[in-house]
Structure 1
Amino acid sequence: MKFMLTTSAVLAVFLFATQSHAADGQEVYSNNCAVCHDAMPPKMGDKQAWEPRLKQGQDALMAAVVNGKGTMPPKGGNSSLSEEDIKAALNYMLDQVK
């Protein structure tokens, strides 16, 4: 019985520790995207530059980030970013131009 309780407790701690938490879009942006998007087009918050991209839709924007486009490498150069991270950063960026 004691073994089962200990095993259950260890499993619960493991599951809690490995659960993915919602990505913080601003943090992902600051740590991965800001270097370029604060200096090069489309700049963060530049509604005019983002307008044609917004018309493409979020799926097309996600694909561009995941696969790379133009001078932007796939996943903005950080292959460890999850799609959840990318989506959170993209939503944060898009919120700045709405």
Structure 2
Amino acid sequence: MKKTMILAVTAMLMTPVAAMAERDGATLYNTKCMACHMTGAAGAPIFGNAEQWGPRAAKGIDALLVSATNGLNAMPPKGTCMDCTESELKGAIQYMLDNSK
């Protein structure tokens, strides 16, 4: 039994991130982004605030993705979501933009 559990856990840990189900923008926002973007911590644009998101949205999603991936000001790279794919980050950004119009 112990060996079976060890093998199962090892197999899970070795599964590439790409093989895991992709998280949607809302899920990612609610689990990784909300802590700062709900409160505006460290200057993060607040979720739903069109005035704060407007100038950022004007840059385009690709520029926002670069900022999110590399980090910007107080935001660390990938906003601490080190296991996020580019597609997932883009989905979270789009979710925040769509809800800030």
Gaps of 5+ in 1: 1-17
Measure the CA separation in 1 of the matches of 2:74 and 2:19. Answer: 34
Identify the range of structure 1 (62-71 vs 81-90) with the bigger mean alpha-carbon deviation. Answer: 81-90
Deviation, structure 1 residue 23: 2.7
Gaps of 5+ in 2: 1-17
After superposing on structure 2, the runs of 4+ consecutive aligned residues of structure 1 that deviate more than 6 Å are none
Match in the other structure for 1:56? 59
Measure the CA separation in 2 of the matches of 1:88 and 1:22. Answer: 10
Measure the CA separation in 2 of the matches of 1:75 and 1:88. Answer: 13
Match in the other structure for 1:26? 26
Matched AA of 1:23: R
Deviation, structure 1 residue 20: 5.0
Counterpart check, 1:75 vs 2:99: no
**Higher Cα Rg: structure 1 or 2?**
1
Q: Is the 8 A contact 1:65 1:76 kept in 2?
A: yes
Secondary structure at 1:44 match in 2:
coil
Deviations 1:10-57 (A, max 9, x none): xxxxxxxx7454431100001000000001131000000011101111
Secondary structure at 1:97 match in 2:
coil
Matched AA of 1:94: L
Q: 1:85 aligns with which of 85, 88, 96?
A: 88
Measure the CA separation in 1 of the matches of 2:97 and 2:54. Answer: 10
Q: Is the 8 A contact 1:23 1:84 kept in 2?
A: no
Match in the other structure for 2:38? 38
Percent identity of equivalent pairs: 37
